[in-house]
Amino acid sequence: MTPKDSGTAQGWDASIRSTDWKVSIAYDPAPPFKDSTVGTRYRRSNEHGRRVPRGDDAPLHHPGGAVAFTFRGGLYTPLTDAAVFFHFYVPPATPGRIGPIDASGFVRWGTSRRLDLRLRLPWGKAQVLDGKITGITYPDYDGPVVIPVPDPDEPDILETYMIANSVSLAVLPDRTPLDATGIRINLDIDSFAWTLSAQLFGRTSLAQVRPDANGPKEIEATINGHTWLFMVERYSGTGKLADERYSITGVSRSQLLAEPYAPKRSQVNTAPINAEQAAVLELEYTGFTLNWDTWTFGPPDWTMPPGAFSYQDKTAMQVIATLAETVGGVVSPALATDELTILPRYREPVWQWSSAIMDRIIPAAMVSEWGSEWQPQPEWNSCYVSGTTHGVAMKVRRAGTAGELEAPDVYADWLTGTDAARHRGIAEMCKGGNQEIVTLNIPLFHAETAPGLVQPAMLCEVRDIDETWRGLCLATEITADGVGASRVKQSLKLERHHRESA
């Protein structure tokens, strides 16, 4: 079959012409600035003119003489046949006009005036303004204002006390443990240093604590979380076949202020000085610090005139202890730091113990053993206290009594203040009366568990089975059978007074 469309073909020529080939898009990268002439106009405001409120009309100007009007360059001549009315109007200030109010105001500055140039700001230890008794009188109250003191922590009363005792004895600074037994740590109210006695096993332990050319070795004793720091002063030994034992004796670092470590000195004051300042100066360059709370519960401070504070051949500790004794106080050493605290021997008079705040509470359930010793004394109600070459002389009498029972007279070289003499007289009267020395054995609890460690000069409330009484801690002794988990007990010696309100 012959193809019918074989001769058919699509013709293509150049008859079709492009009609829009000359059309192009014009692009001007720089459009005209329509607002190029628009700008912000800035003018100075009427800085020194009269202020015109925005809502009021501007005031008219009233000339003082005749007014001539000129119109179109010619002199104005009023008509004679008609009245001429003129209306003058000034538009109010347009919104947005700046009207400065204080444009002409100015501030003066310069060096301030110095007033009270002769007054000085006292610098020193902070003072408790209210103190124990404020002395402020109120319109509706005649008595003194007493600042409330929180009561001591109440101990837990249990049928059985389970205590996991922990005892360790280590040599510093390497903390090498020592194998020891018969550990005893004690302090009494008249001592200024804690003492330690222990027994060591073998010469190896003795070699670790034996003093050398650098001086005595220091050991750290930790019992139920309470840590002491001691210097080994003495040691002795005994032995027999296959058995050697050595005994050591140590004291706390406060002994460094006494013989034989501290030198003896002599001095006399040439200017007035108070007792606290004198005690602080004795500790200068020693590394020790002193705490003397003269405003709340501590002994009062007093001033000694020139020449009154003098001594010969005394160590720093002897001077501080004498200052404390002068005012009826004691020196309390810290357990493991170089710190001394001056405390009153009797924080409260004995006849006010019934209302005093106690430091520790000891229930009968904690007492494992007790003992007592009767020591009667005359119940003094007055005392004569005096200085020697300087100072005051006064008779301290208990309020409400005739003062007929006088305690032994007290003479102190550095007693030159009235408050100090009064405090010393109260302390001497508190030593009298029917009293009993009671010994109690209780556990040594951790610091966070009441009663914890009881230290001398603390007031304790003993809740006995039959009665509750209060006493002053005279001595504390901690005993441990050995290191590790051993038996530990705390022995207290309390001074109990059998008198009214005691």
Position 222 scores a pLDDT of 96
Alpha carbon distance 285, 64 (integer Å): 93
Q: How many CB atoms lie within 10 A of CB 134?
A: 13
Calculate the alpha carbon distances from 239 to 243, 250, 294 in Å. Answer: 6, 21, 53
pLDDT tens, 399-414?
A: 999 999 999 999 999 9
Q: What is the mean pLDDT of residues 403-431?
A: 95
Q: Would the pTM count as exceeding 0.75?
A: no
Give the list of residues 6+ apart from residue 365 with CB closer than 8 angstroms, or none.
157, 158, 159, 161
Alpha carbon distance 340, 191 (integer Å): 12
Q: What is the mean pLDDT of residues 254-269?
A: 94
Between 40-49, 335-344, 421-430, the lowest mean confidence (pLDDT) is in 40-49
| % of the chain residues with pLDDT over 90 | 56
Return the H-helix or E-strand segment holding 418.
helix 418-430
Alpha carbon distance 254, 332 (integer Å): 10
Examine the pLDDT at 131 and tell me if it is beyond 50.
no
Amino acid (one-letter) located at 276: E
SS3 449: coil
pLDDT tens, 275-329?
A: 999 999 999 999 999 999 887 778 999 999 999 999 999 999 999 999 999 999 9
